[in-house]
Amino acid sequence: MWLTGFDVPSLHTMYIDKPMQGHGLMEAIARVNRVYGNKPGGLIVDYLGLAYHLQKALALYTESGGRGDTVIDQSEAVTLTLREYEICRDMFHGFDYSKWKTGHGNEKLILMNWAQDHILGLENGKQRYLQAVMRLSQAFALAVPHEKVLEIRDEVGFFQAVRARIIKTSPEQDLKADDVE
């Protein structure tokens, strides 16, 4: 159903576990890679190793007059991820969140409260932080599994957890549909 024309603009990840080639493979990737709202692209998890078939399909597509870039360069995504990571990290200047990696349940919950208070105490902190972490999350999704990006995944997870907590504890009138989604 996902491949035969059913329109799912918000589909983010597709797991390929059956052989595909040619236009079927291109359609599958196009459906997942569709840009929608704040979604910059999609993620294809290939369990079978279809890279050869993808190269053939792309060659056929290109020869038939397709235009534009078919893939975002991973090095660009890594650069963007690291830039957004620095912005988020800098918002925690003077705040020690190292217990996020080593702490246990209660320690992490207390840390989350302090982190939320820290961000909300910054000038326009809530809005700046929510936007920065959203941009970081989008870039991170495109840059994985690059080794430089994997090195910061725990901190990205911390930033995302603080963002989710801020959203959940915000009065409903302050939330936008994108934040809730």
Structure letter (DSSP) for residue 103: -
Quick check: helix, strand or coil at residue 44?
strand
pLDDT value of residue 114: 95
H or E stretch including 14?
Answer: strand 13-16
So what's the pLDDT on residue 70? 45
Summary mean pLDDT of the chain: 80
Helices then strands, counting H and E runs in the chain, come out as 9, 2
User: What residues does each domain of the chain span?
Assistant: 13-63, 74-180
> Quick one: pLDDT at residue 144?
81
In terms of pTM, does the model score above 0.75? no
Q: Rounded to whole angstroms, how far apart are CA atoms 179 and 96?
A: 26
Averaged pLDDT, 41-62: 73
Note the maximum CA span of the chain: 59
- Looking at residues 148-168, what average pLDDT do you find? 92
- Nearest-5° angle of CA 59, CA 71, CA 66? 45
Q: Is the pLDDT of residue 164 over 50?
A: yes
Radius of gyration of the chain (CA): 19
Residue 172 confidence (pLDDT): 61
pLDDT at 1: 44
Is pLDDT larger for residue 25 or for residue 133?
133
Q: Given this model, what pLDDT does residue 2 score?
A: 47
Q: What is the predicted pLDDT for the residue at 7?
A: 55
